[in-house]
Amino acid sequence: MIPTPCECPLCATGGPLDPSLRTPRELLRCRRFPPRLGPSHPECEAESRYWARFEPHLAPWIVGLIEEGVAREPALLCQGAAALISTGASREGGDGRPRYSLAQADGHEILFENLLHEGADSAEDARTLLEGARSFAAHLGREGVLDGPLSEHLQRELALWGPRYVRFFERDEG
């Protein structure tokens, strides 16, 4: 469910709903941001528990980045974070990788099987989505939501596969 408009400057004046059109500081005052991390209607109880494990950490993470002044595109960063987490939820489970888990995730699975279709229109967008996934993995490790070794593994994988992911978009621009 999308929250009703709030009293932030854009909602109060009938401004656009697209969070990419707002400044990061304005988004902090908007009741409709950050977006929900997982699906509105999970398929089953296991999926609901999986997303619920990560959902409470999205807002503190993105608010922290905005307050530090490092979140130029908060909506894309959130999309990157959601794609990272959706990696475990999108698995079918028949290939030996556990469903509703980020265990055994690699950079190719995260970037090319989940993040590729998350709204990147340019190499710059791809870099921002990639940074959202990497930064959220680091945050979850610092907060103890992911075990330290798993968080570090995900960050290494994203660093390894990230340049290939960005090059995919650079080829389209060239």
What pTM does this model have? 0.85
What range defines the domain where residue 54 resides? 9-33+42-173
Pairwise CA distance, residues 62 & 68, whole Å: 10
Please give the structure tokens belonging to residue 148.
């330290």
pLDDT of residue 173 exceeding 80:
no
Judge contact between 90 and 40, C-beta under 8 A. Answer: no
- In this predicted model, which residue has the larger pLDDT, 46 or 31? 46
| Structural domain includes residue 156 | yes
pLDDT digits (tens, 9 = 90+) for 11-23: 766 666 566 666 7
Pairwise CA distance, residues 39 & 37, whole Å: 7
| Structural domain includes residue 95 | yes
Section 37-55 average pLDDT = 89
pLDDT level of residue 122 (50, 70, 90 thresholds) = confident
pLDDT digits (tens, 9 = 90+) for 58-106: 989 998 998 888 887 888 898 899 999 999 888 877 778 888 999 999 9
| Structural domain includes residue 160 | yes
pLDDT digits (tens, 9 = 90+) for 134-157: 999 999 999 999 999 999 999 999
Please enumerate in sequence order all residues whose Cβ is within 8 A of that of 27, keeping only pairs 6 or more positions apart, or say none.
Answer: 19, 33, 34, 66, 74
Number of H-type helices and E-type strands within the chain: 8, 0
Listed residue (135, 30, 26, 123) closest to 79, CA to CA: 135
| Structural domain includes residue 2 | no
pLDDT of amino acid 13: 64
170 alpha-carbon distance from chain centroid: 21
| Structural domain includes residue 3 | no
Pairwise CA distance, residues 98 & 129, whole Å: 24
Please give the structure tokens belonging to residue 78.
């959130």
Q: What is the dihedral of CA 76, 78, 80, 85, to 10 degrees?
A: -160
Domain count, the chain: 1
pLDDT of amino acid 116: 72
| Structural domain includes residue 98 | yes
Listed residue (146, 139, 133) closest to 103, CA to CA: 146
